[in-house]
Structure 1
C-alpha cells in the first residue's frame, strides 16, 4: 500500500514538474495578450474575442500558436486599431510574426519589442508611430522583414541594423528620418529590397550599399542625398531610384544628372559613420608639406589690384543684367495680365460670369475650370503661354471665384457636407440653379510643379463616364490658400450610409438595387483601367464605400478618380492609410509598396462583400462563409430572404476570387464586367 502511495505521489510530482511551467507560461502569455489588447484597442471595439476566459490558441481573433501552444503570430492588420503598442508584447517570447500594419496606432515603438529574438516578420507600417528607431534593433537576430514605412518616425537609421544578417526586406519610406545612410547596411548579405524614400536623409550614398549580392530594389528618391552614386548600383537597372535628390549625380542612371568635376572631387570623402579625419590643427600637417610663403607687402599690393578690378567690374555687369531682367519681367507680366484678362485683385467685372463661361464651353466638350491666379502661385505659369493650344485651354477653363463663394454662402458651415484632415466638401448652388459639391484642398497639399499640376488637371478633365464623378470646375485662390474641385452633386450621399442598418430602416436597399450598384461600380473601375487615346489607364488606389456616391436613381458614382495626379505624395499616402485601415488595400502592397489595377480589383471585391452583407466590417465568419460558398449565412438579413440565390452564388464567387491574396489569381475588371453582364436588368 505504501509502495502504491509512493508511486502515485511520484507520478503526480512528475506530471506537476512537467506541466506546471507550461501552465505558468500560458498564464504569462495570456496576461501579456490582455495587456496588449487594452493598449491596442482601448475601447474594446475590435478585439472582443480576447478575454481572460478564452483560449488564445483557438478563440483569440488574429492569434495563432505553434505546436507547443505558444503564441507564434499576431495578425491584426487593417482592424482600425487606434491605441498604442504595449511593452507587454515582449512577454510573447516565441512570437515569430507581428502584423499590425494599416491601423491608426500611435506613440513610440516600445524598446522592449526588440528583445523578441525569435521574430521573423515585423510589420508596423502605415500607422502613426513616432519617435526613433533605437539601436536595440540590432538584437533581433532572426528578423527577415522590417517594415516601418508610412509612420512619423524621426532620428537617424541606427548602424546596428547591420547586425541583422537575415534581413531580406527593409522598408522605411515615408517617415521623417534624418542623417546619413549607415554603411553597415552593406553587411546585410540576404537583403533584396531597401526602401528609404521620402525621408530627409542626407550625405553620400555609402559604396557598401551595393555589397548585398541579392539586392534587387534600392529606392532612395525624395531625400536630400548628395555626391556620386556608387557605380556598382548600375547592376540594379530599373531597381534603383534616386530622383529628387538635388545633390546626387552619376553616369548611367537615367534619372540623375551626369557628375561634374566638383562632384567627382568628393568621391573619396568619408562615408557615413566611418572614422573621420581631422582636417584642422597644425599638429596633423605633415612635416614635408609645401606651405606657401607669405608674400611681401609690395608683392601683395600688386597682385591684389587685378582681383579688385575684376570684382568691381563683375558687380557693375550683374547690376545692369538685373535691371534689364527686371524690366523685361515687368513688361512680360503686364502683357500676361492683359492676355489672361484678370489678376488676383481683379474685380468681378473682369472675370467671366456663369453664362459667359457656358458660352465658351458650349464650343467644346471640356468642363468649366475655375482658376483664380495670383503673382505667387500660378499652375499655368510654366506652360507655353502664347501658343494657340494654351490660349484655348486657358479660355475654356476660366471662371470666377465669387460665384463659388456665393454658391456656398461663403463656405458656411450650413453648407458643409463633410470634413477630414486634408479636405472639406461643401454643397453649393450656382447661379444657373445647378447643385454642385465643392471639394476644398489647401494649396500646400497640391503639387507645386506647374507642369505636373497642369498634366493632372488635363487628366481629370478627360474622365467622362456615367459612373465617375464629373468635374465641373476648378479654382485656386492664393488669398484663401485653397484649391477647389467642383463636381456634380449626388443627392443620396455615399454608400456607407446604406450599411450597418437596422431592420425597417428607410435606407435598406433591395436586391435589384444592390446588384445594379455593384455593376455600376465595376463599369466605372473598368473605364479607369482602360486606356484611351487622350489618357493612359488609371489605377484609383483608394476605392471605398466612402467615395462611392449614389444619385437620385441610386446610380453609383466613384469620386476622387485621378486625384492623386494633383496632390502631393504625403496626402496620397495618408488616403492610402485610411483605405488600408478599412481593409481595402491588397496584401501585395506590403511587399511591393505599389498599387496596380489588381489592387483596385481587390478593393472592388471587398466592396461587393460589404454590399451583399450590409456590413462595413467584414469579420472572419463572413469571409469564411463566402469562401465556402455559403452565401445564405452572410447575405444581409434585412433582405428577409428576398434575393436571387443564383445571382447571390455568382456574386459571392466573383467577390471571393477578386479578393484572392495573389494578384495574378484575381480577374481583370474586364472579366468581372463580363461575368456580371447576365445579372439583373442593368446592361453593361
Structure 2
C-alpha cells in the first residue's frame, strides 16, 4: 500500500471534522480578535491620554496574565472580568463593551468616567456584577438593562444620572443589591422592585424621587436594608417596613407620615392613600401619590360647611404667626444693637444658650448659628445635648480663643502653611508657652449641620488618649471667620509618604528595625481606636494611609485625623473616601455594603504594611505575588540592600496578605496582630 493511499482517508476525515466543527481547526481566533478589538476601543475611550492602561496593546494577549492589567479570562480563554477600580480613568465608557459577551464582572468604580451608560452594555447577558459607582456618569439608566438576566449587583451610585428608575429592573430576578443613591433621579419608586425575590439592599437615597413608598417593597421577602432618605417622598409609610428596624432609613422626606416610626408625624385621616396601580383610578401608580378629581362616589366627602371654619382658623393662625415673628425680629434687633453698643466693654457674661439658639439655622453649619466675637463657644455651663451632659466642664481645658490661634500662626501666614486639602488647611504655630502645634482650619460648610452631632464628634476627639495618636490640644470655632480650628501637637518628621519611592541617594531610607517599630506603633494606635475603653467608644478610623501616619523625631508613628469624620459632612467624608480608594486603601466590600467597619481599617492597614515593606507607594499585583511566595528580592525595598531579617519579613508579609483578604471574615483583628507582632525581636 502506497504512502499516498494512507494519507487520503486521513485527509477526508479532517475535512469532515472541519465542516462539522470549524473551531477544532481555528479554535476561537475570530472571537479572540473581536474581544481584543473591543478592549482596545475601550482603552481609547476610557483612557484617552494613555496614562493608565499602558499594558493594553494591540499585540498583547488579554489572557496571558502579563499584559492587559485588570483583565481576567475564563478557562475557555474568553474575557470574563475587568477590574479597573480607582485607576484614575477620565474618559467615557465605550459602546464596544457590548462585544465582551462572556463578561461576568465589570468593576470600573472610583474613577472619573463621564458621559452616558451605553445601551450596548445590555448585551452582557452573563454579567453578574456591574460596578460603575463613584464616577461622573450622566443621562438615563438604559431600560435595555432588563436583558441582563444574570445581574446580581447593580452599583450606579454617586454619579449624575437623571430620569426615572426603569420599571424593567423588576424583571431581574437575581438582583440582590441595587445602589442608586446620590444621583439626580426623579419620578416614583417602581413598585416592580418589590417583586425581586432575593433583593437584600436597596439604596435610593439622596435623589429627587417623589410619590409614596410602594407597599410591595414592604413585602419583599429578602429585603434587609431600604435607604430612602433625602428625597421628596410623601404619603403613608407601609407599617410592614417596621420589620427592617434600623435597616429602614427615611429621614428628610417631609411628606412622609406613619405610626410608630420615630420622627414621622401621624397621617391625617383625610389623606386617603391612592388606589394601587391597575385599580379604577385611571391607572395612576401607587407611587405617584396624586389627588384624584371628583368622580362620583370617589370624591372626598368635605362639604362647604366644614371648609369655612377650617379656612377661618387657618387665617387666624397665620395672623398670629406673622405677629409673633415680627415681635421676635424686633426683640432680636434690639438685643443685637445692645450687643454692638457694648462690644468695646469687657464682660464676664456670655450670651445665653437661648440667644444662641434663637439665631440657629438648621440647614447650615452650627458655626453659622453662634456669633461670638472671639470664637465659637457653644458649650455653656451645664448644657446637655442628645443625652451628653455637662460637656462644658469636660471641654474647659480644650478651649482656645481666636486671638490665641491667630497669634500662634502669625495670622495664618502663608509661611506657616503646612498643607491644604479640599476642606481644610493646616498651619504650623507656636503657643505662648513655646510649644509647637499644628492648627487645622476647617470651613464651616464642611462641618456637620446638626449641632448636637457636631458636639458629640468633638466629645469623641477629646476622649482619645494614646501614644500612637496625634494629640489634640484643643479647639476654637469662629462664626466670624466661618471656620473651626483643631489644635494638635506638631509632629516634626512629616508623614510616611516621604519615605516611599525613595531613589537611592535622594532621600532618607528607613532601616529595617525602624520599619518594624513603626508597624507595631501603627497597629497599637488602630487597636486602641477599635477597643472599647471607659469614656471612649469603639471608633473606626476610615482613612488609614501613608499620609495619615506621622513620624516624630524618634520615629514613633502617630495616626492623624482619628475621629475627624465625626465632625464633617457626609460629602466631605465621601470625597476623602474617593481619594483613599484611588490609592488602593479601600476594602472591596464597601462597594456592596456602603459601610465602614473595623475590618475596613484592617484592609487599609494591610496595604500600608506592604508599602512599608516594599518602600513603594503603588502596590502592584506582582508585589503581592512575590510576598505570597516569599521572594524577598522582589518585594522588599531594594534600598535596604538585604539588611533585614527574613523570618520577620515572612511574618509581616503573611500578616499583610491576611489583612488584604477579599473576604472581611478572613482578616485578623488589630488586637490579634498586636499579639502576633509581640514576637518580633526587633520590635522595641
TM-score (ref. length: structure 1)? 0.84
Q: What are structure 1's unaligned runs of at least 5 residues?
A: 296-302, 338-342, 353-370
Distance in 1, matches of 2:303 and 2:242, equals 47
**Residue-by-residue CA offset, 1:132-160 (whole Å, 9 max, x unaligned):** 32323223222121112233333332222
Q: Report the counterpart of residue 412 of structure 2 in structure 1.
A: 411
Matches within 5 A, 1:407-446: 407-446=408-447
Distance in 2, matches of 1:490 and 1:236, equals 46
Distance in 1, matches of 2:298 and 2:286, equals 30
- Contact 1:586/1:599 (<8 A) preserved: yes
Distance in 2, matches of 1:9 and 1:421, equals 73
**Residue-by-residue CA offset, 1:501-554 (whole Å, 9 max, x unaligned):** 112233211111111110111111011111121121101111111111112222
Structure 1 pair 613–389 and aligned structure 2 pair: CA distance change class (3 A): same
Give the counterpart of 2:211 among 203, 207, 220: 203
Asked whether 1:163 is paired with 2:156, we answer no
Q: Report the counterpart of residue 78 of structure 1 in structure 2.
A: 86
- Contact 1:242/1:256 (<8 A) preserved: no
How much has 1:76 moved relative to structure 2? 2.2
Matches within 5 A, 1:51-130: 51-58=57-64, 59=66, 60-130=68-138
Distance in 2, matches of 1:523 and 1:464, equals 12
Structure 1 pair 44–509 and aligned structure 2 pair: CA distance change class (3 A): farther
- Contact 1:629/1:653 (<8 A) preserved: no
Which range moves more in the overlay, 407-416 or 200-209? Answer: 407-416
Q: Report the counterpart of residue 175 of structure 1 in structure 2.
A: 183
The alignment partner of 1:261 has SS state of coil
Asked whether 1:150 is paired with 2:182, we answer no
Distance in 1, matches of 2:311 and 2:509, equals 85
Q: Report the counterpart of residue 496 of structure 1 in structure 2.
A: 497
**Residue-by-residue CA offset, 1:148-190 (whole Å, 9 max, x unaligned):** 2233333332222223222121112233333321222123233
Distance in 1, matches of 2:513 and 2:298, equals 93
Give the alignment's Cα RMSD to 1 decimal.
Answer: 3.9
Distance in 1, matches of 2:458 and 2:341, equals 20
Which range moves more in the overlay, 320-329 or 523-532? Answer: 320-329
How much has 1:373 moved relative to structure 2? 7.4
Distance in 2, matches of 1:23 and 1:129, equals 34
- Contact 1:193/1:218 (<8 A) preserved: yes
Q: Report the counterpart of residue 280 of structure 2 in structure 1.
A: none
Asked whether 1:132 is paired with 2:140, we answer yes
How much has 1:566 moved relative to structure 2? 0.5
Q: Report the counterpart of residue 364 of structure 2 in structure 1.
A: none
Distance in 1, matches of 2:370 and 2:83, equals 51
Give the counterpart of 1:27 among 33, 48, 51: 33
How much has 1:20 moved relative to structure 2? 5.4
- Contact 1:379/1:454 (<8 A) preserved: no
Distance in 2, matches of 1:494 and 1:84, equals 35
The alignment partner of 1:68 has SS state of coil
**Residue-by-residue CA offset, 1:177-210 (whole Å, 9 max, x unaligned):** 3332122212323322212223333321111223
Distance in 2, matches of 1:278 and 1:293, equals 17
- Contact 1:587/1:661 (<8 A) preserved: yes
How much has 1:130 moved relative to structure 2? 3.4
Asked whether 1:232 is paired with 2:240, we answer yes
- Contact 2:274/2:291 (<8 A) preserved: no
Distance in 2, matches of 1:548 and 1:658, equals 18
Structure 1 pair 476–289 and aligned structure 2 pair: CA distance change class (3 A): closer
Which range moves more in the overlay, 12-21 or 66-75? Answer: 12-21
Structure 1 pair 308–273 and aligned structure 2 pair: CA distance change class (3 A): closer
Structure 1 pair 309–586 and aligned structure 2 pair: CA distance change class (3 A): closer
Give the counterpart of 1:50 among 56, 63, 86: 56
The alignment partner of 1:122 has SS state of strand
Structure 1 pair 276–263 and aligned structure 2 pair: CA distance change class (3 A): closer
**Residue-by-residue CA offset, 1:79-137 (whole Å, 9 max, x unaligned):** 34444322221221221211122334344333322332222210122333333323232
Distance in 2, matches of 1:43 and 1:559, equals 35
Structure 1 pair 549–394 and aligned structure 2 pair: CA distance change class (3 A): closer
- Contact 1:57/1:65 (<8 A) preserved: yes
Asked whether 1:511 is paired with 2:518, we answer no
- Contact 1:382/1:451 (<8 A) preserved: no
Matches within 5 A, 1:66-465: 66-253=74-261, 255-257=262-264, 259-261=266-268, 265-266=272-273, 268=275, 272=285, 279-280=292-293, 285-286=295-296, 317-318=320-321, 321-322=324-325, 325=328, 374-375=370-371, 389=390, 391-392=392-393, 395-465=396-466
The alignment partner of 2:390 has SS state of helix
Distance in 2, matches of 1:268 and 1:465, equals 60
Q: Report the counterpart of residue 537 of structure 2 in structure 1.
A: 536
Q: Report the counterpart of residue 281 of structure 2 in structure 1.
A: none
Q: Report the counterpart of residue 677 of structure 1 in structure 2.
A: 678
TM-score (ref. length: structure 2)? 0.84
How much has 1:592 moved relative to structure 2? 1.8
**Residue-by-residue CA offset, 1:350-405 (whole Å, 9 max, x unaligned):** 899xxxxxxxxxxxxxxxxxx99744999765977668935535654443324433
Distance in 2, matches of 1:291 and 1:522, equals 69
- Contact 1:250/1:257 (<8 A) preserved: yes
How much has 1:455 moved relative to structure 2? 0.6
Distance in 1, matches of 2:76 and 2:345, equals 77
Q: Report the counterpart of residue 356 of structure 2 in structure 1.
A: none
Distance in 2, matches of 1:468 and 1:8, equals 78
Asked whether 1:547 is paired with 2:553, we answer no
**Residue-by-residue CA offset, 1:332-358 (whole Å, 9 max, x unaligned):** 8899x7xxxxx9996798899xxxxxx
- Contact 1:379/1:450 (<8 A) preserved: no
The alignment partner of 1:487 has SS state of strand
Distance in 2, matches of 1:155 and 1:533, equals 50
Which range moves more in the overlay, 669-678 or 265-274? Answer: 265-274
How much has 1:5 moved relative to structure 2? 7.8
Structure 1 pair 582–316 and aligned structure 2 pair: CA distance change class (3 A): closer
Distance in 2, matches of 1:293 and 1:400, equals 63
Structure 1 pair 496–543 and aligned structure 2 pair: CA distance change class (3 A): same
Distance in 2, matches of 1:38 and 1:85, equals 10
Matched residue count = 648
How much has 1:44 moved relative to structure 2? 4.0
How much has 1:30 moved relative to structure 2? 0.7
Structure 1 pair 310–81 and aligned structure 2 pair: CA distance change class (3 A): closer
Structure 1 pair 631–479 and aligned structure 2 pair: CA distance change class (3 A): same
Distance in 1, matches of 2:10 and 2:594, equals 63
Distance in 2, matches of 1:681 and 1:565, equals 36
